[in-house]
Each structure stands twice: as C-alpha cells, then as structure tokens.
Amino acid sequence: MTTTRHFGSDIPHLPTDEPYGKRDVPRGPAPLYLRALAGLLDLGIVAIPLVLGWYIVDSLRDDNGGGEADRVVFGGAAVAIALGLALWNRGFREGNTGQSSGKGWVGLVTRDTHTGDAIGPTRSLQRAFRRTGTEVVRESTATAEGFAVREKDVSVAAIRRRRLIGLGVLVILLGLVLLASVAVGARPLSFAEIFHALVDPDGSQTDIIVRTLRGPRTVLGLVVGMALGVAGALIQGHTRNPLADAGLLGLNAGAAFLVVLSMYLFGFSAPSEYLWFAFAGSFAASVIVFGLSSIGNGAASPLSLALAGAAVAFFLQAMTNAIIIVDQSSLDSYRFWVVGSVAGRGFDVLWQVLPFLVIGLILALVSTPGLNVLSLGEDVARSLGTNIAASRALGIVAITLLTGAATAACGPIAFIGLVVPHVARAITGPDYRWLVPYAGLLGGVMLVTADVIGRVVVRPGELQVGIVLAVFGAPFFIALVRRRKLASL
C-alpha cells in the first residue's frame, strides 16, 4: 500500500532528522489490474500483424484475383512477424531487462523471487506455462530492492555465436523472400505450377512467366540489393559519415547526367540501351570526386571526400535539370528511370552488369581488413603501417563498380545504402569483416521484399521499388535513428 507523507497544517510536524515529502516504496506483487493492462498491451503488439495479415489474405481471394501462393506468402509472413515480436518482447526483452513493452508502459518489472534480478529469456518464455520462482512488481519496488538487468555477454565466443546465428537466420529469410518473389504477382500461381516451371518446364504460360519474367527479376533484385547494401557500408566507412550513401559521393548524379544525355542525343529509352551510359557516369563521377579530394595533401580524407562528392553532385544535378527542362521527351524517359525499378529487366540486363557486381563484391570483401584499421583514424592507421591511399583507392573502386552497375541496371534506388549498414552494424558491431556480408544479405532481402510489396499494394498494377522503399524506408530509418541515437562511425 502506498502512503505519502505530505507537508501541511493538518499533519503533525515530523522530527527535523526525517526527510519531508518522502514517498514510501510499495512492497509485494503488483496489483492485478496493472498486470492485466500490461498483458493486453503485449497482446496488442502481437495481434497487429495478425489482423493486418488476415485482411490481406481475405483481400486475396480467388474472386479478387488472388492465388494460393499469394495467400500462403502473406499469411505466413504475418504469422512469422507475430511470432518474432512475441519472442523478442516476452522473451529476450522481458527476460533481460525485466520489462516487456506493455510492462514498461505501465511501470512493472518481472524478477526472480529469490534473487530479485532479471530471469533470462528462457524462463521468461516459460512464464506462460510455469510461473514458479518469478513475480511481477512495480518498477519502483524493483529499483528500491536492487533489481539488476542481465548484462549482455560481450565475450569473443558469444559475439561470434550471435553473428553466426544471425547469418543463418538471414540466409533462411533470404530463401523465403526469393520464393515469395517468384510466387507473387499479377498472375496468380499455385505452388504446383511454380515447381513445374522450375523443375520440368514445357513452355506453358506459367512456365514462361516464372522463367522469363519473375525469375530474372528476382535474381536481378537480389544482386542489385546486395550491391547497394555492401556499397553503402563501404561509403559510410570511408567517409566516416553515418548519413552517407551513393548520392553523397555524386555517383547517382553522374549516372543520371549521362543517362539523360544519351536520351537527349540518341533517343534511348530502354534500360539495355542506356545501361553503359549510367555505368560510365558513375565511374566518371567517382574518379572526379576521388581526384578532387586528393588534391593538396595527396590522400583523400573522409571530410574531403564528402565535400568533393557534394560539389560534384550539385553540379551534375544542375546539368541534368538543364537538359530535361529544354527537352520534353528526355524528361518523360528520365522520370521513369530516376524512380528506380527492377520491372522490365531481364537476363540481358543482368548478364551485362553481373561481372562488375561480382568483381566489386570481391574487392569489397578484400578491403574490409584495411577499412577496420582506417576506422581507428588515419594517424593510427598510418602508425600501423597501413597505406591509406591504397586502401581508399581499393574501397572507391569497389564502391564505383557496385553502385555504378546497380544504378545502371535499375536506376538510382535510395534508402538501401543508407539504412542497411545501420541495421547490420546493430547486429555485428563495427567489424567490417562481418558488417559487409551482413549488409549484402540485408540489402538483397530489403530490395526483393520491397519489390514483392510493390506488386500487391496497387493490384493489378505495380508500384516501383524505389517508391516502396521511400514509403516504408523513411519511417523505419527515423525510428532506427531515434532508438539507436545514430552511432558515430
């Protein structure tokens, strides 16, 4: 029971050695109504994805143009998200900190009855069936009685184990997303039709859809997403700027300028026609930015790279605007390219950019040890014998190949290079040997998922992946930044 001692005329004066206005800390278990309220809030967190999933599945009935695969994909995704939220909220969060989201909002703590500390994820998950040895108290009670959260295991073995588990989960998630990309589209397909098209094609309509449309589109989305994610991690590492992406180094502006120039001079409008112009534009912009940033002291610093990239990007964007203002046909073609999309691209586009993407990924992985040393600061790196100019050059070449080829294939796609490195860094820490592969897998998952969502939200039409990423990526990035305080690099 809470008893508050107020200072007033109707209350006898206390001895001078007792503190005035002191609130007595309640003891014992929390009231039932607070525990019930916390339980309802936690239940609501799990119910939201299930309700949304049910509405989506219901809207994908056969008479609405939906298919079996569509319903299984979105229904399964809703259930998986709900289970993941429950596992995180009532398992890891409550077990390690004592508070699920609901208990945190109403000020309750789950603790061990005997030790008074957090109970751990396993016991927290078991509380739904066995509550022996645990209790729920008010937050003030737990704090006054010395409640302690579980410290995160930061040993080398524990970090390596978390990274390997995360990598395995990402690979499984990527497999499911790729399957969804093949299954979901304007033409409903069953799993039998998909299996037939992949294993024993005979030239039927569904075989053509899977093998010539959705298959190439899925593979292209995967490799482009991986390239953008890896390039984003390298750009943020080399510029030491957590808000850096391909736009900051002027790579997108260089590609856009030469694409518009090819449309204006030669009338190109298909991706396979202006692909090489986009790649050449990104490459030229990276050479100019790296050259300008190296003038003076002979080495490109993070600040000089960012400044040179911003200057080149503004100049090239102005030249692009000058062309599309005077030529209406160039504007019409450019506005479809600049959104960014994997639709309408087949294996012909993929084969042209694939060698550059593979070489860029190999160079990116090779450059990660040097980037780890550079992240300690140029003075420290120099004292350790690192050739800073060579490390920067290797990184810039990898960034140019990855970003240039990805932009040439699908247009400038934002948010992946900006968001993915932060998510990867939250899982792996600052070690670029792990961060870069994680960023690649996360980028592939993110782009293919956005493409699948774009095929469904405006059925029977499609929404370009660049628009989907902007709509969903911006709020996600804002929430990520606010939660993690945007760790400095």
> Angle formed by the axes of helices 68-86 and 156-183, to 10°?
160
Using omega within 30 degrees of 0 as the cis cutoff, is the peptide bond preceding 29 cis? no
CA distance 221 to 2: 60
What is the helix (H) or strand (E) element at residue 481, kind and residue range? helix 465-484
Based on its alpha-carbon atoms, the radius of gyration of the chain, rounded to whole angstroms, reads: 27
d(CA 118, CA 24): 23
Distances (CA, A) of 203 to 395, 435, 455: 45, 42, 24
* pLDDT by residue, tens only, the chain of 489 residues: 444 444 444 445 555 555 555 667 777 788 889 899 999 999 998 999 899 888 888 877 777 667 777 788 788 888 888 998 898 888 888 988 888 888 888 889 999 888 888 888 888 888 878 778 888 998 888 888 888 888 777 778 888 888 888 888 888 888 888 888 888 877 777 778 888 887 777 778 778 888 888 888 889 889 989 999 999 898 888 877 777 777 777 888 888 888 888 888 887 777 677 778 888 888 888 888 877 877 766 566 677 777 888 888 888 888 888 888 887 777 777 777 777 777 777 787 888 888 888 998 999 998 888 888 888 877 787 887 778 778 888 888 888 888 888 887 888 887 888 888 888 888 888 888 889 999 999 999 999 988 888 887 777 777 888 888 888 777 777 776 666 555 555
Q: Which residues of 163-175 are buried (b: 16+ CB within 10 A; e: fewer)?
A: beebbeebeebbe
Our measurement of the distance from residue 34's CA atom to the centroid of its chain's CA atoms, rounded to an integer in Å, reads 35
Look up tokens 């639709």; give the residue.
343
Cβ–Cβ under 8 Å, residues 42 and 102:
yes
Distance in angstroms (rounded) separating the CA atoms of residues 60 and 69: 10
What's the rounded Cα separation, in Å, for the pair 323 and 326? 6
Q: Quick one: 374 exposed, middle or buried, by C-beta within 10 A (0-12, 13-18, 19+)?
A: buried
User: For residues 483 and 211, is the Cβ–Cβ distance under 8 A?
Assistant: no
Contact 186, 462 (CB under 8 A): yes
All structural domains of the chain, each given as residue ranges with its CATH number in brackets, are 32-151 (no CATH), 217-482 (1.10.3470.10)
Q: Which residues contact 20 (CB under 8 A, 6 or more apart)?
A: 5, 7, 14
DSSP-based three-state secondary structure for 136: strand
463 Rama class: left (phi>0) / alpha (psi -120 to 50) / beta: beta
Identity (one letter) of the amino acid at 162? Answer: R
Residue with tokens 């295991």: 153
